[in-house]
Chains A and B, each alone.
Chain A
Amino acid sequence: MPERLIVQLSYLIKMEEDKSKSGTRREFVRTAGKLLMAVPVLALPVILARKTDAKGFVWQIDPYKCTSCELCKSSCVMTPSAVKCTNAFPMCGYCDFCPGFLRQGAKTYDTSAENQLCPTGAIVRKFVEEPYFEYTIDEKLCDGCSKCVKGCADFGNGSLYLQIMHNLCVNCNQCAIARVCPSDAVIRVQSEEPYMRKELKKS
């Protein structure tokens, strides 16, 4: 028992010696480290000050780049996708035979389900006057598959186009659709102007 006590005592003495010897050096390294760490953290906002934007970005589809590849439907982190079809009415031809509404090769031209191109029946057809029909999208049903967009672009005026709806979009840091979009149509836009409306192109 006494030996153990002696060992412990000597240990305590050694400890005190160590403290006086290396305490200051260790302390110095620690303070230097603190300063070294603090400088970049404090400097970062200064460096990034010019590159910071209080408003930030949101994701949007450039309708003129979109190739209606159908990836918007399946790639979005939301189910159903936050991408919805929308109709640019000033561009729309109000066609009776709407290539976005009716399936190609349909036997009869009417609103029966088997004739519709939209797999979820999200396009609402409303009679305006002979021979024009108004087409609106029921966004609750639309899943952004872009079948109608392709139909309208190939055979119609191209007034149907896809947009990311910001009431649904969760604004991921990197949009999962942008990652897979083959035509780089999903881009960051300023959040004050979150939509890219398709308008009549005059050229």
Chain B
Amino acid sequence: MKKLNKYLPYIVLVVLFIWHSVLYAQQQRFPRPEFESGYTFPTHQFLNQRGPMWEFMDVAVLIGALLVTSWLALKKRSRQGLIWMSVFSLAYFGFYREGCICAIGSVQNMSMALFNDSYAMPLPALLFFTIPLLFALFSGRVFCAGVCPLGAIQELTGFRKVRVPQSVERVLAVIPFVYLGLAVLFAATESQFLICRYDPFVGIFRIDAPYTMIIFGSLLLITGIFVNRPYCRYLCPYGVLQNIFSRFSIRHLTISPAECRNCRLCETGCPYDAILQADPATYVEKPAEPKKKSLVYLIAIPVLAAGFALVLYNLAPSLSVVNNNVKLAREIRLEKEQGIKAVSKGAIAFFESGRTEEQLFEKEQQVIARFRKGAPWVGIFLGLSFGIGFFRLTVRNIRTIYEPDRGRCYSCGKCYKFCPVKINN
């Protein structure tokens, strides 16, 4: 007995060793052969992508293109030049860089980096996000005019000009705000990169895409022949930011090179209805009535914000379905409670992985909690945007000249040719 006690540690050690080698052998079912012919393992060469230097090259091209476009739109006033700029951007950012890296998508990287500690934003993405906005503050939406490849492809295919009724335009212009809000929320919760997933033209840039993307992109392009720039106007989430920033721009494209003479020739010149018309000389404002109205709308702004926050807070659990974990948890719960077999690849992988249901449901609750936290802010953003939008309808100054609406004007320069005023240098 004493002897056994003495040897027990060694026996245990031997058993453990054998057990370990059994485990090892299981992992390595067929032992590595001992070659006699002097064979050596080939080393697999993994190829790298193009270096990070090139990404900063993209940033340099972006800045250069923005500078040239600003000069063309504001100073040179050359529509032809802007068209060439669009061709260049489409060729470089579109077909050569295949639509990535783009400012529109960088909104999501920013959101993800802000709200997740595990993710650091790549510097080029940050620059692609901020530089066009800075340019919007200085010279309006020049990024949309000739640098954005998505804008460029639509600019170059907008042959006809069908004007959309203002009521329809205003309602459709709401979509980008919702799109932006949701995209930021989904990226912040690490659920989806909505904008990249539904990028309509990246398939055309790569000449390779799922058929749904091709159909969506082609439909948009065909629509764009008549209703110009449909993506920019009714979908683009980055356009929302450009719109807001451009309203406060220091300088902006003007329709007339010198003084506007109110000749009304440019009235129908803009395909986006972004020309604000001068008031007729007989226009008289009745001050009392609008003042009361605008006060009501001013009070409505916080009410709307609170209302939207409440709605979005309650929508949060339904929105969280875009997260894969929540989707999987729902499927598993459905199987448990109603006996509907979970057959998706995700469910099969989940059963194989050995994660417990408790872990999954806990993860689901975490994701829903994050959505609950973030969704009200999206609601506040939407409420404020719509509230201010309504309020702006009630206040306006008497306009004495024809000028572009700084928010909605893409600085495309189509209006230049309608202005009869010419300056001789």
- Listed in ascending order, the chain A residues whose CB lies under 8 Å from chain B are 7-8, 11, 14-15, 18, 22, 26, 30, 33-34, 36-38, 41, 44-45, 47-48, 51-58, 67, 69, 71, 77-79, 86-87, 89-95, 128-129, 132, 134, 136, 155-158, 163, 165-167, 169-174, 176, 179-180, 182-184, 188, 191, 194-195, 200-203
Interface members, chain B 110-125 (any A CB < 8 Å): 110, 113-114, 119-125
State A55–B41 Cα separation when bound (angstroms): 32
Cβ distance A143 to chain B, nearest Cβ, rounded Å:
14
* Docked-complex contact B121 and A167, CB < 8 angstroms: no
Query: Does B389 reach chain A (CB closer than 8 Å)?
Result: no
Query: Does B405 reach chain A (CB closer than 8 Å)?
Result: no
* Docked-complex contact A157 and B100, CB < 8 angstroms: no
In this complex, what residue of A is CB-closest to B196?
A173
Point out the residue from A77, A128, A182 that lies within 8 Å of B348, measured CB to CB: A182
Cβ distance B242 to chain A, nearest Cβ, rounded Å:
11
State A195–B27 Cα separation when bound (angstroms): 22
* Docked-complex contact B208 and A167, CB < 8 angstroms: no
Cβ distance B156 to chain A, nearest Cβ, rounded Å:
23
* Docked-complex contact A172 and B349, CB < 8 angstroms: no
* Docked-complex contact A45 and B126, CB < 8 angstroms: yes
In this complex, what residue of A is CB-closest to B247?
A33
Report chain B residues within 8 Å CB of A129: 35-37, 39
In this complex, what residue of A is CB-closest to B213?
A77
* Docked-complex contact A94 and B113, CB < 8 angstroms: no
In this complex, what residue of B is CB-closest to A168?
B47
State A162–B102 Cα separation when bound (angstroms): 29
* Docked-complex contact B352 and A67, CB < 8 angstroms: yes
Report chain B residues within 8 Å CB of A171: 49, 100
Cβ distance A159 to chain B, nearest Cβ, rounded Å:
9
Cβ distance A124 to chain B, nearest Cβ, rounded Å:
11
Query: Does B6 reach chain A (CB closer than 8 Å)?
Result: no
Query: Does B197 reach chain A (CB closer than 8 Å)?
Result: yes
Report chain A residues within 8 Å CB of B48: 166-167, 194
Q: Interface digits, B14-44 against A, CB 8 Å rule (1 contact, 0 not)? A: 0000000001100111111101110101111
* Docked-complex contact B49 and A37, CB < 8 angstroms: no
Report chain B residues within 8 Å CB of A48: 110, 113-114, 121, 126
Report chain A residues within 8 Å CB of B196: 172-174
State A38–B248 Cα separation when bound (angstroms): 9
Cβ distance B75 to chain A, nearest Cβ, rounded Å:
21
State A86–B44 Cα separation when bound (angstroms): 8
Point out the residue from B46, B126, B345 that lies within 8 Å of A52, measured CB to CB: B126
* Docked-complex contact B46 and A165, CB < 8 angstroms: yes
User: Given A41-B245, A194-B46, 18 other A-B contacts at CB below 8 A?
Assistant: A8-B281, A15-B400, A37-B245, A41-B130, A44-B130, A52-B121, A69-B348, A89-B43, A93-B32, A132-B35, A166-B48, A170-B206, A171-B49, A171-B100, A173-B100, A174-B196, A182-B347, A183-B353
* Docked-complex contact A167 and B47, CB < 8 angstroms: yes
* Docked-complex contact A53 and B30, CB < 8 angstroms: no
30 A-B interface contacts by CB (under 8 A): A7-B281, A11-B283, A30-B248, A37-B245, A44-B110, A48-B113, A51-B120, A51-B121, A53-B120, A54-B52, A54-B122, A56-B122, A56-B125, A67-B352, A77-B202, A78-B206, A89-B42, A91-B32, A93-B28, A129-B35, A129-B36, A165-B46, A166-B48, A167-B48, A170-B98, A173-B109, A173-B193, A179-B192, A179-B193, A188-B119
Report chain A residues within 8 Å CB of B374: none
Report chain B residues within 8 Å CB of A30: 248
Report chain B residues within 8 Å CB of A200: 28
Cβ distance B298 to chain A, nearest Cβ, rounded Å:
14
In this complex, what residue of B is CB-closest to A79?
B208
Cβ distance A20 to chain B, nearest Cβ, rounded Å:
13
Cβ distance A153 to chain B, nearest Cβ, rounded Å:
10
Closest A-B pairs by Cβ, 3 of them: A93-B30, A56-B122, A174-B193
Report chain A residues within 8 Å CB of B324: 179, 184
Query: Does B86 reach chain A (CB closer than 8 Å)?
Result: no
In this complex, what residue of B is CB-closest to A71?
B345
Report chain A residues within 8 Å CB of B349: 67, 69, 182-183
State A47–B137 Cα separation when bound (angstroms): 20
State A188–B193 Cα separation when bound (angstroms): 14
* Docked-complex contact B123 and A52, CB < 8 angstroms: yes
Cβ distance B25 to chain A, nearest Cβ, rounded Å:
11
In this complex, what residue of B is CB-closest to A131?
B33
Report chain B residues within 8 Å CB of A182: 344-350
Given A157-B29, A166-B46, the answer on whether A53 and B122 have CB atoms closer than 8 Å is: yes
Point out the residue from A34, A51, A128, A179 that lies within 8 Å of B37, measured CB to CB: A128
State A45–B110 Cα separation when bound (angstroms): 10
State A79–B208 Cα separation when bound (angstroms): 7
In this complex, what residue of A is CB-closest to B28?
A157
Report chain B residues within 8 Å CB of A166: 46-49
Report chain B residues within 8 Å CB of A90: 32, 41
* Docked-complex contact A194 and B49, CB < 8 angstroms: yes
Given A194-B48, A194-B49, the answer on whether A128 and B35 have CB atoms closer than 8 Å is: yes
Query: Does B398 reach chain A (CB closer than 8 Å)?
Result: yes
Cβ distance B83 to chain A, nearest Cβ, rounded Å:
28
Report chain A residues within 8 Å CB of B119: 51, 188
Query: Does B209 reach chain A (CB closer than 8 Å)?
Result: yes
Cβ distance A49 to chain B, nearest Cβ, rounded Å:
9
* Docked-complex contact B33 and A52, CB < 8 angstroms: no
Given A179-B192, A188-B119, the answer on whether A93 and B31 have CB atoms closer than 8 Å is: yes
State A54–B127 Cα separation when bound (angstroms): 11
Q: Interface digits, B272-289 against A, CB 8 Å rule (1 contact, 0 not)? A: 000000000111000000
